[in-house]
Amino acid sequence: MSAWKRGLDAAGILEPELRRAYSAQRKAVRRFRRSSYLAARILLPPALLPHAVAATAFMHHGDDVLDTGTATQRAAAWTVWQRRVRTALESGQGDDPLIGAMLHTIGACPRLRPVVEDYLTTATAELEFEGFATEGDYQAYVDAYSHPAFMLVATLLGPEDDDGPFRAACRTLIDGSQRLDFVNDLAEDLREGRLGIPQETLRRFSVSVEELWEGRRPAGLVELVAHGVRAAGAALRAAGAQSDLAAPEGRPLMRALVDIELRTADAALERGAGLLRGPASPPPAGTVRTLLRERRAARG
């Protein structure tokens, strides 16, 4: 029997149509986040894997709705999507495999429901995102969008009785991860015409968006990249130091996520101005070592 089928059995997902719904989300997650799926499959208990997959697929679909098309198209699509999800939450019935799987996961983890409801309420911050004037604007975006989206999955890794500390640690982690993404994805964001690095930070290092759009490399670009990467690394290390706030079964994956992000940060720092050509990736050998180390810890 495959590891996936064992996971479905362990999670009590036995009805054939529901198993197909979860398996469809597994295919989607393997397609767009293969490394994340591999980490989850290796490090999570079998009974938790299908739920983590469903939540990841739900989060990714929301990202796609919020990011695809013109501003008008994205807003209209989000209105339809969040209405479908809210209707499903109220009725207890989903109208497609993704919503059906997520409903079942919420049933298995009831503390996830308010997280989904919060996310549906605040995710419109992504529709409004056109860049940040200040660091405060960036932090407001993390509060409204990045953190609630991350909690869709992270809630499954946290303790049932969390009264705030685990969620706060997740806020620190996603601050580091999002900040790193905005630096590492510099080339893609320039093509899309909106940077995640605040204007006040660009000015601090004498870097203008116009120069970057024109393909020039301002003298302060390397220092700008280093500043962003180091700030991201500080947040990630702080979150890593709090990984024991997760539930025991979630700690190996949380530690692995932090470690892989830190490896990505090292690669981005080394790439420097080369990020204008494309993002950096963590060395595969280092990623494998991280997963094997945490797998041993999980089994121990």
Instruction: Spell out the domain ranges in the chain.
Output: 1-112, 129-300
pLDDT tens per residue across span 1-37: 688 999 999 999 999 999 999 999 999 999 988 888 8
- Lowest-confidence segment of 19-28, 214-223, 246-255 by average pLDDT: 214-223
Structure tokens at 280: 């950096």
pLDDT tens per residue across span 67-125: 999 989 999 999 999 999 999 999 999 889 999 999 999 999 999 999 999 999 999 99
pLDDT tens per residue across span 234-245: 999 999 999 999
**Which residue do the tokens 């041993």 mark?**
296
Q: Is the pLDDT of residue 300 over 80?
A: no
Using alpha carbons, select from 144, 99, 98, 141 the residue that is nearest to residue 118.
Answer: 144
| pLDDT at position 86 | 97
Structure tokens at 174: 């996603």
Rounded CA separation 59/204 (Å): 34
Whether 294 and 256 have beta carbons less than 8 Å apart is answered as yes
| pLDDT at position 226 | 97
Rounded CA separation 275/270 (Å): 10
Asked if 1-112 and 129-300 have one fold, the answer is yes
- Tallying the residues shown for the chain, one arrives at 300
Rounded CA separation 258/237 (Å): 7
| pLDDT at position 213 | 86
| pLDDT at position 299 | 82
| pLDDT at position 171 | 98
Name the more confident of 1 and 232: 232
| pLDDT at position 23 | 97
| pLDDT at position 1 | 66
Using alpha carbons, select from 38, 42, 6, 34 the residue that is nearest to residue 22.
Answer: 6
pTM of the model as a whole: 0.94
Percentage helix, strand, coil, to 5, in the chain? Answer: 75, 0, 25
Rounded CA separation 106/221 (Å): 45
pLDDT tens per residue across span 43-72: 999 999 999 999 999 999 999 999 999 989
Q: Is the pLDDT of residue 208 over 70?
A: yes
CATH code of the region 1-112: 1.10.600.10
Q: At what angle do helices 221-240 and 251-271 cross, to 10 degrees?
A: 170
pLDDT tens per residue across span 184-197: 999 999 988 889 99
Percent of the chain with pLDDT over 90: 86
Using alpha carbons, select from 20, 32, 91 the residue that is nearest to residue 58.
Answer: 32
Task: Provide the CATH topology of domain 129-300.
Answer: Farnesyl Diphosphate Synthase (1.10.600)
pLDDT tens per residue across span 123-162: 999 998 989 999 999 999 999 999 999 999 999 999 998 8
Structure tokens at 185: 């994805």
DSSP line for 158-223 = S-TT--SHHHHHHHHHHHHHHHHHHHHTHHHHHHHT--SS-HHHHHHTT--HHHHHTT---TTHHH
| pLDDT at position 220 | 94
